[in-house]
Chains A and B, each alone.
Chain A
Amino acid sequence: MIIVDATQLVIPQIVKHAIDTLSSASLDSKTLFFQCIFILFLGLVMAGLRFGWRNLLMGSARHVEKGIRDDLFKHILNLDMTYFDKVKTGDIMAHAVSDINHIRMAFGFGLIVLVDTILLGGTTLAIMLWTHPKLTAFAMIPMPFLIIVTRTLGKKMYVFHKTAQESYSQLTELVRESFFGIRIIKVFNFETFIGKKVETASTDYFKKNLRRAFVTALLKPLLGLFFNLSTIIVIFYGGFLVMQQVLSPGELVAFIQYLGILAWPVIAIGWMTNLFQRGMASLKRINILIESKASVSSPDHPVDLKKIKGNIQFKDVSFAYDNATSILSDINLDIDSGASIGISGPPGSGKTSLTQLIPRLYNTNKGKICIDNIDVTSIHLDFLRGHIALMPQESFLFSGTIRENIMMGQDMNENRLEQILKVCCLKDTIKEMPDGFDTIVGERGITLSGGQKQRIALARTLMLEKPIVILDDPISQMDTHTASKVIEGINRLSLNATFVIVSHRISALASCDKIYILKNGSIHHSGTHSELIQTDRFYKESFLVQQFEEEHGA
């Protein structure tokens, strides 16, 4: 870049030279030819160098962008569920794209401008000081003001940019959520309502953006003003000096010209402040996100475990998502390795929460959970989760093929897969799909019914051969016929694991070694199927209702 700047100054010299030769009226076409070629050559060199530094600086800015985005994604993957209760998806998306973009701009353009400013501004200022220190000092009178103004505006920009980005985050989330629930919006005619909500959000962003724009719009002309004030001072004071014959007119002209060169760095400072403050505010936002520690994290010195047998104990466990509403209170469980456990209870009784505590998706508020007599908080998270297969209640498919959704990046075990597909009644289903096992499903894939989704999610879980298998409501979306086939299949599968199943269907629970009935976050009753029919009203009624349904049908 320095060479480019220097070369830029050489070309006028050659032109001058050429014109000088012309004015002496002695044209030597050979010299002229060489001069022209030389100009072209310099032009090429400049072009080459410009290409080089542009590529380098902007490329490195893109590199920074890529790095931050990778880090952010990695960090997100390790955050726990509690975090996502607080921070919204759209918010994170805005961070990942818009904020990182602002950081890149600050890095890329900011760096170019910075180097240019220091180089060009510094040299010019030095020359000015050299020629006339006193005049320079006078010319610099507006400088402190300039610094103050830039700093104040910079701070304002920082704040305004932050609020604008926050508003942008909210807008992003609102739009994301609306698209996600588009069916409900359509069928309940929420279009106008949601449209108004988005309009409010985008107007809010508009207003905050305008404040940001106000600072931008003020900065550049203001710096121009200070620069022009400097020029006036130089003309006024320098003019008097010339009149007093202390300074030669030529010196004054030269001085004014040097001042002219300073114009660009001054404008650049404004531009840079603008980009830099935006970049800094965005960086701060990203940092807050990246520094947010997962509240569930691996212990510093995890217990060295070789394997997990699968004994699970809950000792006085209480749990709540927020402090207002208690979800589980004083749960005590002791599940032998290899045992099968059923859990049932009315909606909101804490069944799902209980299953999610075992792989430590959340931390308990009180009490502890032990696996093989070791507190789960002292086991490395990857190790713990690597030994638990959990099927969440609501089946979620990633956009990708069925194969990818079942295998989740693991190596294929053909026999096992064959077996699992059979258990989940998926073989015929998949055969009928347009591309079989490679049919794209998920958000952009083909439309699957709830039951089909659930069976794929079940297959995904069963493929993981883990010492602890937890199924949260695995057959809720299936028709009775398929459901009973699936349950039979699972029972036959001899999982060789501790098995926890949550369900409302008695048929899925009946064969369990022990069944727990939850009510309002505590264990209401427990026992085997035949015991519970005697002791627990909920269980008995469920059983009767389900039996009645069947009887009545017959």
Chain B
Amino acid sequence: MAPDNPIEEKEIKLEDLKVIKALWPYIRPYVWMLCFSTLLVFLVTLLELFMPIFTQKAFDGFIVPVSPEKGTSLFGFGIESFQIFCTVFAVFILTTFIIDFFQSLFMEYTGQKIILNLRNALFSHMTHLPVSFYDKNSSGRMVSRVAGDVENMNEMFTSILIFVFKDLIMMTGILAILFTINSKLALYLTGLVPVIVISIGFFSKVLRNAFRTIRQKIAEINHSFSEAIAGINIIQTTSSHNTFMQRFETLNFEHFKATLYQIKIFSIFMPFISFLGVFSVAIIIWVGSFEVIEASLTLGELVAFLTYMKLFFRPLRDLSEKFNLLQSALASGERIINILNTDKAKQRISKNRNQIDKISSVTFDQVNFSYEKNKIVLKNISFHLPEGNSIGIVGQTGSGKSSIINLLTGFYKQDSGDIFINQININSVNIEDIRSKTALVMQDSILFSGSIRENITPSGLDMDTTSLEKALQNANCNFLFKKFSGLDTIIKEGGRPLSSGEKQLVCISRAFAFNPDLIIFDEATSYMDSQSEQKVHDAMKKLMQGRLSIIIAHRLSTVKECDTILLLRDGKIREQGSHPDLVNLKGEYYHLLKKEKI
């Protein structure tokens, strides 16, 4: 809704060298390909430079023979017939074409390959980022990094890198030639170099800023689309099209403004470089003419100097044309690196992390936690979940129930206090060990598009159809077979065509199929009627036998059979004990129970 965002707004700024350095590991494996590509570029350029020589030889040897007898020599071979000469010329052209084609293809291939690897690496890095990262950054925005920004880097690895290299070498070469012709004039020309360097420095700063804004706005646009689609039924039923349209138009206009600014800057830059060319011609003529008069320079040399100078400015112009792309790519590069530099979830603190084969107990010892500094969510939480036991957590919405789960599954890290798994501090346990033995069913039932089978089979674990169907039946998912096509039912975006209640049932079957040591149910049956809920609870009871379980509920009836019940209010455990204990206590739990009767 609001166009501004704390994360996106924080400008991502990196030095060019840092960007290159951070990207280097992804380029490294392909360096030889890039070098080969550059070599081919030189070869093609060289061949192209040969073209005029062929024409010249055609004239001197055949068309207007210089010597009385016809014929010329190419690379030491004498050719006497004009027809043969032209055939050789044609073959030469064909060769050029083939090499040129091969070079272009090879270059594209290299670039795409780098991009492919970068994208895969970026995505894999992102899936390992802590959940808190995703809580702060919307998925629409993050998508634009993996998709758009990586795409935007493409040209960096193809044309830019190779041609910049080539152009720079050509410019140095020509400058060297200019020095051999007349070092004094060339010195005048080198006086131009600092001007070019400074102006490039200046323009790159301004342009980069413009591109930063552009890329950031693109991410916002992505976000707007994804959010509008996700909330489309609300937008349509609250008749707030216009509000959303206006917001989007404002955003799109900001993007437009940023692009216009960029165009303006670039439109100044390119003519500026061209002007420098014209300017130096004027200077050289001015200075050169006096030298000619003083006879320290021949006229021919001056002409040659001017011709080569033209050659000097051509790669410079090409370079500046690429400059725009380079800045855009670097702006995207910054955004990618910014993510690659975001630390993965800090989970492997201890080197000798302990292997866990089975989760048999969970202990919280005086745990404090907050998402933001000044707002404490959990205060002094201590409880113990011994082998085979179950804990029920109740409390009003926002009392911190789900936060306990966030800590246990390693989505977040506690501020102070300790959490123990099998008496081992969670810090020295590989969090993936815990997760692979934990089944979590959340409030929001998330299903991915694909078949039911894909949705409930854990990765790397081939399950046969019968046991999958068993899991579905346990979770009361018979409707899948009656109404839909069972395990092969195709789920679309957002879990359609299943209803919310049905989605919850499928999510529960996912936990059943998983055969976990620790089961966590976080308000997992909210969209169900009492009877379906009852059936699921019966199945859960079976599943819970011999395992650890944590059940979060807002209805006391759901948890009353748990061995221990924690009553949470404002992030603190107010009461703790079994159902009869708490009833006898006649405290808050008892009062809540009475209220629920109404």
Are the CB atoms of B514 and A188 closer together than 8 Å? yes
Closest 6 CB pairs of A and B: A400-B1, A347-B501, A451-B397, A409-B243, A43-B278, A193-B459
Contacts of A19 in B (CB 8 A): 299, 302-303
A35 at the interface (CB under 8 A from B): yes
Bound Cα distance from A406 to B178, whole angstroms: 72
CA distance A395 to B442 in the complex (A): 15
> Can you add 9 more A-B contacts, CB < 8 Å, to A36-B286, A191-B459?
A43-B275, A69-B221, A77-B241, A177-B448, A187-B435, A199-B120, A443-B138, A481-B595, A553-B556
Interface string of A38-68 (1 = CB under 8 A from B): 0110111011101100110011001101100
Is the CB of A364 closer than 8 A to any CB of chain B?
no
Chain A residues with CB below 8 A from B278, complex form: 11, 39-40, 42-43, 46
Q: Cβ of B108 and Cβ of A39 under 8 Å apart?
A: no
Residues of A near B140 (CB, < 8 A) are: 93, 176, 443
Contact B243 A408 (CB under 8 A): yes
In the bound complex, residues from chain A placing their C-beta under 8 Å from that of B505 are 347
Q: Of B96, B135, B228, B532, which one neighbours A76 at CB under 8 angstroms?
A: B228
Whether B271 contacts A46 by the Cβ 8 Å rule is: yes
CA distance A27 to B556 in the complex (A): 105
Do the beta carbons of B263 and A398 come within 8 Å of each other? no
* Pick from A186, A214, A359: contact of B435, CB under 8 Å: A186
Q: How far is the CB of A201 from chain B (nearest CB, A)?
A: 10
Say whether A36 contacts B500, CB under 8 Å. no
User: Can you identify 7 A-B contacts, CB atoms within 8 angstroms?
Assistant: A62-B259, A73-B245, A77-B236, A179-B134, A393-B500, A440-B6, A442-B227
- Contacts A199-B120, A399-B227 given; indicate if A224 touches B97 (C-beta within 8 A): yes
Q: Does A178 contact B (CB under 8 A)?
A: yes
Q: Which of A77, A390, A479 contacts B397 (CB 8 A)?
A: A479
Comparing B57-65, B189-197, B416-424, the segment that makes contact with chain A is B57-65
Is the CB of B204 closer than 8 A to any CB of chain A? no
Determine whether the beta carbon of A92 is less than 8 Å from that of B275.
Answer: no
Inter-subunit contact A92/B229 (CB<8 Å): yes
CB neighbors of A among B298-333 (8 A): 299, 302-303, 306
- The minimal Cβ–Cβ distance linking B387 to chain A, given in whole angstroms, is 22
Docked Cα-Cα span, A359 to B237, in Å, equals: 7
Chain B 61-89 per-residue mask, 1 if CB under 8 angstroms from chain A, else 0: 01110000000000000000010001001
Residues of A within 8 A of B299 (CB): 19, 22-23
Proximity bits, A247-280, B CB within 8 Å = 1, else 0:
0010011001000000000000000000000000
- Taking the closest CB of chain A, its distance from the CB of B91, in whole angstroms, is 10
Cα–Cα, bound, A44→B274 (Å) = 9
- Give chain B nearest CB distance to A418 CB in angstroms: 20
B501/A348 in contact, CB under 8 A: yes
Task: Give chain A residues whose Cβ lies under 8 Å from the Cβ of B401.
Answer: 449
A478 contacts B237, CB within 8 Å?
no
B402 cross-chain contacts in A, Cβ below 8 A: 449
Q: Tell me if A385 and B221 are in contact (CB < 8 A).
A: no
Say whether, besides A50-B274, A209-B112, A32 and B289 are in contact (CB < 8 Å): yes
Within 120-156 of B, Cβ neighbours of A (below 8 Å) are at 120, 123-124, 126-128, 131, 134-144, 146-148, 151
Judging by beta carbons under 8 Å apart, are B2 and A385 in contact? no
Closest chain-B Cβ to A228's Cβ sits at a distance in Å of: 4
Task: Tell me if B264 is interfacial: C-beta within 8 Å of chain A.
Answer: yes
Option from A176, A182, A440 in Cβ contact (under 8 Å) with B2: A440
Say yes or no: B398 contacts A451, CB within 8 Å.
yes
Contact between A239 and B143 (Cβ–Cβ < 8 Å)?
no
Q: Which residue in chain B gives the minimum CB-CB distance to A547?
A: B597
Segment of A82-90, A116-124, A522-530 in the binding face: A82-90
Which residues from chain B contact A359 at a C-beta distance below 8 Å? 236-237
- Inside 8 A of B264's CB, which chain A residues have their CB? 55
The answer to whether A210 and B108 have CB atoms under 8 Å apart is yes
Q: What's the minimum C-beta distance from A110 to chain B, rounded to whole angstroms?
A: 16
Interface digits, A108-144 against B, CB 8 Å rule (1 contact, 0 not)? 0000000000000000000000000000000000000
Q: Which of B343-392 contact A (CB under 8 A)?
A: 371-372, 374-375
Docked complex Cα distance between A224 and B64 (Å): 27
List the B side residues contacting A286 at CB < 8 Å. none
Q: Say yes or no: A77-B228 contact (C-beta < 8 A), given A434-B374, A449-B397.
A: yes
* A298 contacts the other chain (CB 8 A): no
Is A55's CB under 8 angstroms from B285's CB?
A: no
B131-190 contacts to A, CB under 8 A, are 131, 134-144, 146-148, 151
The residue among B63, B119, B238, B401 with the most chain A CB atoms within 10 A of its own CB is: B238
On whether the beta carbons of A15 and B306 are closer than 8 Å, the reply is yes
Our count of residue pairs bridging A and B at CB distance below 8 angstroms stands at 523
- In the assembled complex, the Cα of A62 lies from the Cα of B100 at a distance in Å of 33
Decide: A549 and B527 in contact? CB cutoff 8 A: no
Contact of A198 among B109, B120, B594 (CB under 8 A): B120
Question: In which size bucket is the chain B interface?
Answer: 35 or more
Name the residue among A47, A168, A473, A545 with the largest chain B CB count within 10 angstroms.
Answer: A47
CB of A473 within 8 A of CB of B86, answer: no
Chain B residues near A452 (CB, 8 Å)? 397-398
Find out whether the CB atom of B529 lies under 8 angstroms from the CB atom of A346: yes
Residue of B nearest to A394 (CB): B500
Option from A46, A78, A552 in Cβ contact (under 8 Å) with B557? A552
Name the residue on A nearest B154 (C-beta): A209
Report B219 CB to chain A, min CB distance, Å: 9
* Most A-side CB within 10 Å, residue of B239, B395, B458, B514: B239
Q: Does A344 contact B (CB under 8 A)?
A: yes
Cβ A47 vs Cβ B272 within 8 A: yes
Assess A256 versus B260: contact at CB under 8 Å? Given A73-B224, A73-B252, A176-B226.
no
Contacts of A77 in B (CB 8 A): 228, 232, 235-236, 241, 244-245
Name, among B259, B411, B460, B592, the residue most crowded by chain A CB atoms within 10 Å (CB to CB): B259
A69–B251 CA distance with the chains assembled, in angstroms: 11
Contact with B along A379-400 (1 / 0, CB 8 A): 0001001101110111010111
Given A202-B119, A451-B398, also A225-B94 (CB < 8 A): yes
The verdict on A182 contacting B289 (CB below 8 Å), with A346-B531, A484-B598 known, is no
Beta-carbon contact of A389 and B237 below 8 Å: yes
Asked if A229 CB lies within 8 Å of chain B CBs, one says yes
Please tell me which stretch of A150-158, A215-223, A369-377 contacts chain B, meaning at least 4 of its Cβ atoms lie within 8 angstroms of it.
Answer: A215-223
What residues on B are CB-neighbors of A401 within 8 Å? 1-2
Assuming the A-B contacts A51-B271, A216-B108, A348-B499, are A484 and B222 also in contact, with contact meaning beta carbons closer than 8 angstroms in the complex? no
A347 contacts B241, CB within 8 Å?
Answer: no
Determine if A504 is an interface residue (Cβ-Cβ < 8 Å). Answer: yes
Residue pair B232, A480 in contact (C-beta under 8 Å): no
Q: Does A429 contact B (CB under 8 A)?
A: yes
The chain B residue sitting closest to A47, CB to CB, is: B271
Q: Are B502 and A58 in contact (CB under 8 A)?
A: no
With A35-B285, A42-B278, A94-B147 known as contacts, the answer to whether A408 contacts B240 (CB < 8 A) is yes
Q: What is the CA–CA distance of A83 and B1 in the complex, to the nearest angstrom?
A: 23
Query: Of all chain A residues, which has the CB nearest B226?
Result: A89
Contact with A along B418-457 (1 / 0, CB 8 A): 0000000000000010011011101110101100000000
Q: Which residues of A contact B527 (CB under 8 A)?
A: 347, 393, 473, 476, 504
- The interface bits of chain A over 198-214 (1 if a CB of B lies within 8 angstroms of the residue's CB, else 0) are 11001100100110011
Q: Determine whether the beta carbon of B557 is less than 8 Å from that of A187.
A: no
Question: Assuming the A-B contacts A70-B252, A229-B90, are A97 and B230 also in contact, with contact meaning beta carbons closer than 8 angstroms in the complex?
Answer: no
CB of A446 within 8 A of chain B?
yes
